[in-house]
Structure 1
Amino acid sequence: MDTPYFKFDGGFIMVPWDRFDEAVEWYRDTMGWRLNGTATGPVGRKAFFKLPGMGQANLKSFESGMDHFTMEDYAEGHCRFCFRTANLEQTLLYFTQQGVEISEPVNMPDGTWAADIQAFGGSRLTLCEDRKLEGKYPDSRIIQYAAKPLWLGVRNLEAATVWYERVLGFAQSDHNFKDRGFVLMRDVKDEWDFAWLEQIPSTSKFVKANPGARLYFQIEERADFEQTHSWLKEQALEVSEIVGERWQGFHFYDPDGNRLNVWNYY
């Protein structure tokens, strides 16, 4: 088959099964998100929050009996799922006052600022500043997905760029940030620069990431989803088994251990 179309479609923030209700309260109260509902099904417990700006944030319980959702081998690695905040300095101050661990802000190649927080259960969420939203959602800290929601560390920037072009069908942005150690990747179909590849030290230890905040790509048709699963295996990649019924998902890894997730639902 041709290279499948991997469309960004939100994701899951994983939380411990035995603390699921506590996590729902934490995200509702600490983030200022509105809870739309919860559900329990074949793949465990979920909670759905309406993000103040656009989109939906989803909590998901770890499930020990499913490789796709197990808590075993938990590692944040170099995968970042990025969200938008209006004023990073104020937001980080708020989280510090709430006892939430934060990182030092980073000046990204496009001139924006970003920082990590350690959310409930240890999940790392990356916050990216968008001053155009300042004052619009005063009761919310994280407003919607970031303009560039995916940020991945790679040990060989050139090789990783070629891999993402070949396997996921992305293209390089017209904006060149290689002198700053970044490549910005583009969703060709939607004409959207949405994913950062960042050069990390080439001697960095290989870490197979199974992070708490997991960005997902959607394959819209079920037959295409199943064919994509088979096609990725044919590329000699490590691919998990498919889990779920009406909702189905699996994951695979890039050469640097970054975990990429895929789902389909109807």
Structure 2
Amino acid sequence: MSNQFSVPTLYFDGQFIDVLWDNHDNVMKWFEKYFAWNIQRQEGWKVDPRCLQGRMTNTNWGTWLVSYITNSRLPHHFAERGTVESNIRLCFRVSELQKQHSKLMEDGIRVSPIYDGPGRTRYFDFWATTEGIRITLQEDLSLRNDGLLPSWVRVGVSNLQDSIEWYKQYMGMSLVRDEINHGYVLMKLRLNHQEEDSLWIVEQLSDEAYKGKVDGQVQPICWIKNREDFFKYHQYLLDCGIETSEVGGFLIRGMVSFHFYDLDGNRFNISSM
């Protein structure tokens, strides 16, 4: 493909959490209990016509719980369980990090120690429900209530400079703040349905961190508004030698999706209608 191809605008559109079919309602109840999330929309929708059954629950901050039953592995929509953790972290901000950490730990929920991280703030990871769905909480002392607010997505990479250029070229990200001397940079993409941008922390992995392809349960989604651009972008990534899944979903009319992997095996989901 010509080098003159212009990557279409990618809009961050929230996240899928891949949930086992029989655990779907329990996962929603977990988030209701611990973070006061609520059901905003429920659909018996299938991610692909090959699914025998499908369920989607829309909850807070563009989060969709997705479950389906199928007789075959879908090429574009799946998650692995019981393997290494993804180096993509979905972050939410809270005002009282220690309080949240203690509450979860007292209830027997797996949590990491509180640690210093990018953005000169503190974090901890927790593993929600019996499925061990990892999400990250971030301290924000400017918040005036006990609520949970979205933050940035953290992506761990083995070579910061190479990854910055890769994200610029293949995803259209732009640099917001260069903190390479502190082991990270802040980048951005447009945010779907809103005027502001989504923020992405690209951070240097430690030498001992796992580096390789991971298909985690928590999957950030980027949206392409023009359906024709979606298919052109898919072909462009293939032509550039980037590992990219087949397009799945409703190819004639309806939602279509694929995913691809960056230099370190971090997975990015792309959708359109």
TM-score bucket of the superposed structures, by smaller chain: 0.7 to 0.9
User: Conserved in 1, the CA contact under 8 Å of 2:10 and 2:190?
Assistant: no
What is the root-mean-square deviation in Å for CA atoms of aligned residues?
2.3
- How many residues align structurally? 253
1:7 paired residue number: 11
Give yes or no for the alignment of 1:122 onto 2:126: no
1:221 paired residue number: 226
Give, in angstroms, the shift of residue 6 of structure 1. 1.5
| Equivalent residue runs for 1:134-149 within 5 Å | 134-135=144-145, 138=146, 140=147, 143-146=148-151, 148=152
Distance 1:181 1:159, change over 3 A: same
1:178 paired residue number: 180
| Equivalent residue runs for 1:36-185 within 5 Å | 36-43=40-47, 44-49=54-59, 51=60, 55-61=61-67, 65-72=73-80, 75-120=84-129, 121-135=131-145, 138=146, 140=147, 143-146=148-151, 148=152, 150-173=153-176, 175-185=177-187
Q: Report the TM-score, using the length of structure 2 for normalisation.
A: 0.84
Distance 1:129 1:234, change over 3 A: same
Distance 1:71 1:176, change over 3 A: closer
Give me the whole-angstrom Cα distance separating, in 1, the residues matched to 2:65 and 2:56.
Answer: 5
Per-residue CA distance 1:53-87 (angstroms, 9 max, x = gap)? xx332111265631333344754221111222222
Identical counterparts, % of pairs: 29
Aligned AA (1:67): P
Give, in angstroms, the shift of residue 119 of structure 1. 1.1
User: Conserved in 2, the CA contact under 8 Å of 1:28 and 1:34?
Assistant: yes
User: Conserved in 2, the CA contact under 8 Å of 1:170 and 1:187?
Assistant: yes
Give me the whole-angstrom Cα distance separating, in 2, the residues matched to 1:134 and 1:188.
Answer: 27
Give me the whole-angstrom Cα distance separating, in 2, the residues matched to 1:72 and 1:112.
Answer: 30
Give me the whole-angstrom Cα distance separating, in 2, the residues matched to 1:78 and 1:106.
Answer: 16
Task: List structure 1 runs of 4+ shifted beyond 6 angstroms.
Answer: 188-191
